């Protein structure tokens, strides 16, 4: 089992100064390494079909709607599932979490992993390097990868972005695609 983790939104709490209202963390879970490799290859092939650079990074908030749609269509045939936590940051009252972005980020990951307990067993976790420093304090055996080079962390970003898009009231079409294909195991609205 291999799990890729990424987020959408930011862990800051200066909502009146532009921090995101929601923080979304997604797990993309492959039970089979070969299936993960096939999905990764399909994403690389999609880059070529779209005639973008081989180093093009699929990031939901920087990818146009046409590319988003083609991305999700390209990966739906592979066997993976997603689990997501959506945190409305206005519901977080702990001053410790509100004042320390790293602590909040770690808290979100721990809540998602705890909620996913029976779904994840003997898994290798792969995170985007951005969270590396804070997570090394919590976990000792993790793999941090550069999302620009890892297409499956990009998949986790695209899933998190699609969920964030939905909860921000901008549309549900990408989440609907994932749901209809049976890829969404859980979207947990943290309260």
Read off the pLDDT of residues 83-104 as tens digits, 9 standing for 90 and up: 999 999 999 999 999 999 989 9
Q: What percent of the chain stands above pLDDT 70?
A: 90
pTM > 0.85: yes or no: yes
Q: Determine the pLDDT at residue 116.
A: 83
Of 63, 21, 70, the residue nearest 161 (C-alpha): 63
User: How far is Cα of residue 1 from the mean position of the Cα atoms in its chain?
Assistant: 17
Give the C-alpha distances (Å, rounded to integers) separating 116 from 3, 79, 186.
12, 18, 9
Q: Determine the pLDDT at residue 125.
A: 79
Q: Which residue has the higher pLDDT, 47 or 145?
A: 47
Mean pLDDT (the chain) is 90
Cβ 11 vs Cβ 104: under 8 Å: yes
Read off the pLDDT of residues 50-82 as tens digits, 9 standing for 90 and up: 999 999 999 999 999 999 999 999 999 999 999
Cβ 152 vs Cβ 39: under 8 Å: yes
Task: Spell out the domains of the chain, with CATH numbers in brackets.
Answer: 2-190 (3.30.420)
Q: Residue 129 pLDDT more than 90? A: no
Q: Determine the pLDDT at residue 149.
A: 75
Q: Residue 107 pLDDT more than 60? A: yes
Quote the tokens at residue 2: 């291999």
**Which sign does the torsion angle of CA 155, 148, 5, 158 carry?**
negative
Over residues 180-187, mean pLDDT: 96
Q: List Cβ neighbours of 142 (8 Å cut-off, separation of 6 or more).
A: 125, 126, 127, 135, 136
Residue 39 burial (C-beta neighbours within 10 Å; 0-12, 13-18, 19+): buried
Q: Determine the pLDDT at residue 180.
A: 96
Cβ neighbour number for residue 151 with a 10 Å cutoff: 21
Cβ neighbour number for residue 17 with a 10 Å cutoff: 7
Quote the tokens at residue 101: 């972005």
Read off the pLDDT of residues 45-58 as tens digits, 9 standing for 90 and up: 999 999 999 999 99
């Amino acid at each position: 089992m291999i799990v890729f983790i990424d987020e959408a939104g930011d862990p800051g709490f200066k909502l009146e100064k532009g921090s995101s209202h929601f923080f979304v963390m997604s797990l993309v879970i492959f039970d089979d390494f070969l299936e993960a490799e096939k999905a990764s290859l399909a994403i690389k092939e999609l880059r070529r079909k779209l005639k973008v650079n081989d180093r093009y990074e699929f990031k939901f908030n920087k990818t146009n709607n046409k590319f988003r749609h083609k991305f999700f269509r390209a990966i739906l045939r592979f066997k993976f599932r997603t689990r997501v936590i959506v945190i409305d940051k206005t519901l977080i009252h702990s001053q410790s979490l509100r004042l320390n972005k790293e602590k909040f980020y770690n808290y979100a990951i721990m809540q998602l992993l705890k909620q996913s307990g029976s779904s994840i067993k003997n898994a290798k976790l792969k995170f985007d390097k951005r969270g590396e420093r804070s997570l090394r304090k919590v976990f000792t055996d993790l793999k941090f990868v550069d999302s620009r080079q890892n297409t499956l962390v990009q998949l986790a970003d695209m899933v998190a972005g699609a969920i964030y898009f939905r909860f921000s009231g901008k549309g549900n079409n990408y989440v609907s695609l994932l749901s209809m294909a049976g890829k969404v195991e859980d979207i947990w609205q943290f309260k």
